[in-house]
Amino acid sequence: MSDTGYWLPFERSHTCGDINDKRVGETVYLMGWVAKVRKLGGLRFIDLRDRYGKVQILVDPSNADVDASTKSLRMEDVIAVEGVVQARPDEMTRDDSPSGTVEVAAARVVMLNKSEVPPFTITDNVKANEDLRLKYRYLDLRRRPMADKMVLRHRVILAIRNFLNGRDFLEIETPMLVRRTPEGARDYIVPSRLHPGSFYALPQSPQLYKQILMVAGFDRYFQIARCMRDEDLRADRQPEHTQIDMEMSFVQEKDIFELGEALMSEIFRTGLGIELTTPFPVCSYAEVIDRYGTDKPDRRIGMELSTLTDAFGQTDFKVVADAIGRGESVRGFVVPDGNKLARRDLDALEASAKAHGAGGLLRLKREGEGLAGPVAKFLDAAVQRRLIDASGLNDGGLLLAVIGKTPWVSHVLGRLRLEVADRLEIVDDGKFDFIWINEFPLFERDDETGQYSPCHHLFSMPYEEDIANLEKDPLRVRAHLYDLVCNGLELASGSIRIHSRELQERVMAVTGIDKEDAAKRFGFLLDALEYGAPPHGGIAPGVDRIVMLLAGCDSIRDVIAFPKTQKATSLMDDAPSPVDPEQLEELHIAIRPPEA
Ligand code: ASP
């Protein structure tokens, strides 16, 4: 033990969070960071911080040694303090922390390491911009709100492990260096030195491995899995994310829903101490698009969509009559507090409808038994009445409607609905609204190329009654494919899988993967399916999004210790970076710089 700072001068006896009025009179040995130094009435006070809390250290300058060792202390210096816990004088007590009524009278203070002046102050409400916080992430993570999120994340993951262990799930790791995986995003690839010209992929998910584990007989598998996808980043995406990857044998959709509900209940109990109401409602994909114009509905905001085409009927209002003649629909939703939308809000909503490709935005306000608004004069009393009934328009409410083909028109309204909620600030942040979406279509089609691709991934089991349509009318094939959505965020996706090679090959063929190609890319899975693959299914809730919801923050980056920026860079360690020419040489790789 020494005072040089290279070695600890003594053993730590307590953490800062463990100092409270029960310890008055005890000698304690603390270590941590200088959060603040101030002078008052000839005394010096140091706030000492560690991950557990903050405690006030009192320096009496009459102790010459302590005075000397604390004179030039600066913020974020790391120190060790020996001292006695004592009650603070009445006028100095604070009730915002357990250590607020006590302080530690320093008998010895040892500098363990000095700190540069930090580029931003370590406070709860940091002013620094996010780039600076990401560059100095170790300082950012010292802030209480960030540390709390890491603690929350840890507790949630621990609860998940315990919960799944209690239900006989085995945690099994799958490889990080894999053959290209088929989640539909771009792979990150890793060159093989031993096999020049060949590459591993980083897993987009452990999908194929978890299915093969079912073939191996591990009927309940999970993994807190890192998934890497080289996608353009959106606000709630990261190039690498973490999911609770799960798979079960001999199950149906309803078993996975029950598991998902019990798991979410455990997570919310642990994270927020609240009880969720289960079972969660279930809504088919077709119905959710019809009602909310999106497959990720935020139902907290109400304002469901309705179809108004029939209510217009044989209208003289030309714009609508022509559209109906072309086979288009009129759909809309009611803003109950219509008066709260100012003119400029409405103009902005109209502009946004147009930006999404709509011809305009119909606005009709209910006044008593009739309608008012720019186009009301074109609508006779009977049409007005039918519109009120069809949309459920309340007195003072505003009906916003768009004309176009379904489901396109529903998607436009789905976006407008969210914009209205944003403008009116009607989202109840304290509410968690869960819903399962199921009966997704198995395929979607690229309008330009006519190419079919899986809506989720290639391995979802079609509905039995739709299998006959696989080749004839792929878009009509529904799959046992489900999402769990909470407050408009997709928290989990999963499906019951295909466990027959023949059916799997038929599904692949629809997406343009012929037998030969399938054998080349997925042969190991297809082979495994031939050795007694059990019926199985799974789901994968996203850890980052769940913790983000629990923490009540808007950015997924805030719940990841070392996240990447929107441009997929890490500001702290400057990844990605060029590598040495020798390293490239070994890998037989030459770089062709992008054209200017
Ligand atoms: N592998 C899927 C995904 O990562 C999840 C699943 O189907 O279980 O989205």
| Atom 4 of ligand 1, residue of closest alpha carbon | 205
At residue 185, the pLDDT reads 86
Q: Does ligand 1 come within 6 angstroms of the Cβ of 206? A: no
Where helices occur in 356-454 by DSSP H, the ranges are 381-391, 408-424
- CA angle, 580 then 585 then 587, to 5°: 105
Q: Does ligand 1 come within 6 angstroms of the Cβ of 454? A: no
Query: Is 90 exceeded by the pLDDT of residue 137?
Result: yes
| Atom 8 of ligand 1, residue of closest alpha carbon | 539
Eight-state DSSP code of residue 455 = S
The candidate with the shortest Cα–Cα distance to 163, out of 257, 255, 270, is 270
Q: What is the mean pLDDT of the chain?
A: 94
In this predicted structure, which of 161-170, 180-189, 214-223, 561-570 has the lowest mean pLDDT?
180-189
Give mean pLDDT, residues 342-349. Answer: 94
Mutate to test the pocket of ligand 1, among 169, 174, 183, 251 (most ligand atoms within 8 A of CB): 183
At residue 393, the pLDDT reads 96
The Å distance, Cα 258 to ligand 1 centre, comes to 18
Mutate to test the pocket of ligand 1, among 229, 238, 493, 543 (most ligand atoms within 8 A of CB): 493
Tokens encoding 153: 């994340």
At residue 182, the pLDDT reads 66
Q: Does ligand 1 come within 6 angstroms of the Cβ of 174? A: no
Burial 565-590 (b: 16+ CB within 10 A, else e): eeebebbeeeeeeeeeeeeeeebeee
Query: Is 50 exceeded by the pLDDT of residue 74?
Result: yes
Contacts 24+ apart (CB under 8 A), 382-388: 383/311, 383/312, 383/313, 383/315, 383/317, 386/310, 386/311, 386/312, 386/313, 387/308, 387/311, 387/312
Query: Is 80 exceeded by the pLDDT of residue 4?
Result: no
Residue keyed to tokens 């019951």:
496
Cα–Cα distance between 97 and 245 in angstroms, integer? 39
Give the confidence band of 181 by pLDDT, cuts at 50, 70, 90: low
Cα–Cα distance between 337 and 302 in angstroms, integer? 12
Answer whether 437's CB lies under 8 Å from 284's CB: yes
CA distances to 127, 140, 141, 143, 321 from 124, in Å:
9, 10, 11, 6, 58
Tokens encoding 278: 């289960």
Query: Is 50 exceeded by the pLDDT of residue 1?
Result: no
The Å distance, Cα 212 to ligand 1 centre, comes to 14
Verify cis geometry, omega within 30 degrees of 0, for the bond prior to 576.
Answer: yes
Cα–Cα distance between 344 and 489 in angstroms, integer? 29
At residue 436, the pLDDT reads 98
Tokens encoding 317: 């209002």
Cα–Cα distance between 567 and 503 in angstroms, integer? 40
At residue 5, the pLDDT reads 67
Cα–Cα distance between 206 and 224 in angstroms, integer? 10
In this predicted structure, which of 45-49, 376-380, 412-416, 473-477 has the lowest mean pLDDT?
376-380
Give mean pLDDT, residues 269-291. Answer: 97
Verify cis geometry, omega within 30 degrees of 0, for the bond prior to 407.
Answer: yes
What is the number of other CB atoms lying within 10 angstroms of the CB of residue 524? 13
Q: Can you list the positions of beta strands (E) in 235-275?
A: 240-249
**What are the φ and ψ backbone dihedral angles of 73, each rounded to 5 degrees?**
-65, 140
Cα–Cα distance between 544 and 554 in angstroms, integer? 11
The candidate with the shortest Cα–Cα distance to 505, out of 497, 496, 515, 517, is 515
At residue 243, the pLDDT reads 98
| Atom 6 of ligand 1, residue of closest alpha carbon | 494
Instruction: Kindly give, in sequence order, each residue whose CB lies less than 8 Å from that of residue 578, ignoring residues fewer than 6 positions away.
Output: none
The candidate with the shortest Cα–Cα distance to 362, out of 406, 322, 331, is 331
Q: Does ligand 1 come within 6 angstroms of the Cβ of 494? A: yes
Cα–Cα distance between 357 and 425 in angstroms, integer? 25
Shortest-distance atom of ligand 1 to CA 539: 8
Mutate to test the pocket of ligand 1, among 222, 457, 461 (most ligand atoms within 8 A of CB): 457
Cα–Cα distance between 81 and 103 in angstroms, integer? 12
At residue 113, the pLDDT reads 95
Residue-wise pLDDT tens digits, 473-530:
999 999 999 999 999 999 999 999 999 999 999 999 999 999 999 998 899 999 999 9
Ramachandran quadrant class, 429 (left: phi over 0; alpha: psi -120 to 50; beta: rest)? alpha
| Atom 9 of ligand 1, residue of closest alpha carbon | 493
Q: What percent of the chain has pLDDT over 90?
A: 87
Cα–Cα distance between 462 and 456 in angstroms, integer? 12
Shortest-distance atom of ligand 1 to CA 204: 4
Where helices occur in 449-514 by DSSP H, the ranges are 501-510
Mutate to test the pocket of ligand 1, among 204, 207, 229 (most ligand atoms within 8 A of CB): 207
Q: Does ligand 1 come within 6 angstroms of the Cβ of 495? A: yes
The Å distance, Cα 149 to ligand 1 centre, comes to 25
Query: Is 80 exceeded by the pLDDT of residue 283?
Result: yes
Q: What percent of the chain has pLDDT over 70?
A: 98
Give the pairing of strands 170-171 and 220-228: parallel
Shortest-distance atom of ligand 1 to CA 207: 1
Give the pairing of strands 27-40 and 43-50: antiparallel
The Å distance, Cα 507 to ligand 1 centre, comes to 17
The Å distance, Cα 204 to ligand 1 centre, comes to 9
Residue-wise pLDDT tens digits, 185-227:
899 999 999 999 999 999 999 999 999 999 999 999 999 999 9
At residue 554, the pLDDT reads 87
Instruction: Kindly give, in sequence order, each residue whose CB lies less than 8 Å from that of residue 410, ignoring residues fewer than 6 positions away.
Output: 289, 290, 293, 305, 331
Question: What pTM was computed for the model?
Answer: 0.94
At residue 235, the pLDDT reads 65
Q: Which residues pair with 245 in a beta bridge?
A: 223
Q: Does ligand 1 come within 6 angstroms of the Cβ of 493? A: yes
Tokens encoding 144: 């209480």
Burial 22-49 (b: 16+ CB within 10 A, else e): ebeeeebbbbbbbbbbeeeeeebbbbbb
Between the two ends of the chain, the Cα-to-Cα distance in Å is 60
| Atom 7 of ligand 1, residue of closest alpha carbon | 494
CA distances to 25, 136, 141 from 562, in Å:
41, 10, 10
The Å distance, Cα 304 to ligand 1 centre, comes to 29
CA distances to 10, 92, 511 from 514, in Å:
69, 77, 9
Give the confidence band of 374 by pLDDT, cuts at 50, 70, 90: confident
Give the confidence band of 96 by pLDDT, cuts at 50, 70, 90: confident
